[in-house]
């Protein structure tokens, strides 16, 4: 028996045409682009969220620093003759230059926090006050005991940084804190009627010897009448290191006319080392800059993202702080925080 078999032969070869290869490559490229875009977008969103969290933390920290300072306040300076003339005596040599538009708030007794109108502005963009730093209890050789308060002036203000604010640029501003030298309460000193005791107490404060509790503090050489006008004789007096008497004329090397020296510590801004800035007038409206004041672009601008109002009677002063802080990165969206805080402060 013969069996017959047949075998099929195929001459065609399997594979992709050039057109199919091009289409596949395009589809693959589109998929890679879509995945990359989504990944980049997610990364940018995550980075923006991180910056939002950071700017919120920093704004809270700065406002909390201000709150803690104001708790010790005994005198709030206003945009009037007393406040501006005292501020002119504060030594800012070597400190960052304040904006030319710096303005203290106007203290209003019968009003609450409000929005300014033209001709009725109460908002400032700087803060100048006196705080109690210690109370010194001292027992003289006579056996008499005296309690004397010692103060410091504190000034918060805006300064231009990295070129300052400019159209379309929401940053370029730092907030600076300057603290003055210790100032002895003149009323406490004048209540010491015994000349020998008064001289002994003053020399104790000047030489920073231990008080009745064994505590020592920074040397203090200037006696100041809180609430007095600087031009009035006796508002500022200096302790003579020889006999402990007081003179209304500054003793060398202290400058004449009077100047309240700033603390010797290095003065730096509160935001630059944190890589953030007070938001400028040129920030987007959504930032909330100029919520209470009448904004101005004259000179270096007013108020920017630092607004202060002081309201209420002297026994119950309230300081309202409004701060807008922005991140300083130059790529992507600016992260910002808008916060307000009201602090009860003494103004005696």
User: What is the pLDDT, as a whole number, of residue 158?
Assistant: 97
CA angle, residues 216, 221, 226, in degrees to nearest 5 = 100
Residue bearing tokens 């009627």: 193
pLDDT in tens, 177-196: 999 999 999 999 999 999 99
Q: Average pLDDT in the 55-78 region?
A: 94
pLDDT in tens, 154-164: 999 999 998 88
CA angle, residues 289, 290, 291, in degrees to nearest 5 = 95
Per the structure block, which two tokens stand in for 131?
């705080």
Please choose, from the candidates 128, 216, 226, 145, the residue with its C-alpha nearest in 3D space to the C-alpha of residue 183.
226
Please choose, from the candidates 208, 206, 213, 214, the residue with its C-alpha nearest in 3D space to the C-alpha of residue 189.
206
Please choose, from the candidates 178, 165, 208, the residue with its C-alpha nearest in 3D space to the C-alpha of residue 297.
165
Q: Average pLDDT in the 58-64 region?
A: 95
Residue bearing tokens 């400190």: 95
User: What is the pLDDT, as a whole number, of residue 263?
Assistant: 85
Mean pLDDT of the chain: 89
Residues 6+ apart with CB under 8 A from 153: 86, 90, 128, 129, 130, 179, 180, 183, 260
- Position 7 confidence tier, pLDDT thresholds 50, 70, 90: very low
Higher pLDDT, 38 or 129: 129
Q: Average pLDDT in the 307-314 region?
A: 94
User: What is the pLDDT, as a whole number, of residue 340?
Assistant: 96
User: What is the pLDDT, as a whole number, of residue 40?
Assistant: 58
pLDDT in tens, 276-295: 999 999 998 989 999 999 99
User: What is the pLDDT, as a whole number, of residue 41?
Assistant: 56
pLDDT in tens, 323-335: 999 999 877 788 9
pTM of the model: 0.86
What CA–CA distance (Å, rounded) separates 302 from 101? Answer: 6
- Position 306 confidence tier, pLDDT thresholds 50, 70, 90: very high
What CA–CA distance (Å, rounded) separates 218 from 197? Answer: 21
What CA–CA distance (Å, rounded) separates 221 from 210? Answer: 16
């Amino acid at each position: 028996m013969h069996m017959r078999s047949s075998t099929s032969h195929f001459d065609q070869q399997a594979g992709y045409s050039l057109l199919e290869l091009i289409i596949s490559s395009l589809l693959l490229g589109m998929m890679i682009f879509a995945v990359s875009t989504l990944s980049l977008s997610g990364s940018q969103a995550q980075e923006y969220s991180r910056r939002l969290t950071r700017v919120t933390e920093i704004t809270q920290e700065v406002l909390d620093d201000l709150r803690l300072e104001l708790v010790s306040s005994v005198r709030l300076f206003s945009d009037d003759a007393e406040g501006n003339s005292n501020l002119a005596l504060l030594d800012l040599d070597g400190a960052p230059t304040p904006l030319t538009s710096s303005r203290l708030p106007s203290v209003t007794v019968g009003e609450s926090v409000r929005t300014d109108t033209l001709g009725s502005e109460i908002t400032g963009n700087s803060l100048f006050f006196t705080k109690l730093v210690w109370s010194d209890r001292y027992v003289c050789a006579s056996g008499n005991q005296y309690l004397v308060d010692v103060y410091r002036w504190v000034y918060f203000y805006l300064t231009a940084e990295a070129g300052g604010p400019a159209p379309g640029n929401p940053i370029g501003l730092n907030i600076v804190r300057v603290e003055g030298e210790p100032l002895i309460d003149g009323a406490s000193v004048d209540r010491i009627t015994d000349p020998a005791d008064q001289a002994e107490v003053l020399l104790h404060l000047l030489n920073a010897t231990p008080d009745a509790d064994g505590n020592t503090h920074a040397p203090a050489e200037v006696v100041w009448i809180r609430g007095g006008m600087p031009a009035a004789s006796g508002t500022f007096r200096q302790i003579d290191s020889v006999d402990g008497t007081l003179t209304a004329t500054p003793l060398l090397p202290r400058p004449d006319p009077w100047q309240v020296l700033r603390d010797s510590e290095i003065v730096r801004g509160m935001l630059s080392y944190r890589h953030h800035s007070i938001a400028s007038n040129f920030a987007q409206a959504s930032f909330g800059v100029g919520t209470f004041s009448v904004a101005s672009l004259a000179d270096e601008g007013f108020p920017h993202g630092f607004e202060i109002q002081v309201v209420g009677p002297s026994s119950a002063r309230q300081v309202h702080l409004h701060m807008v802080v922005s991140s300083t990165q130059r790529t992507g969206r600016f992260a910002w925080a808008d916060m307000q805080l009201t602090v009860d402060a003494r103004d005696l």
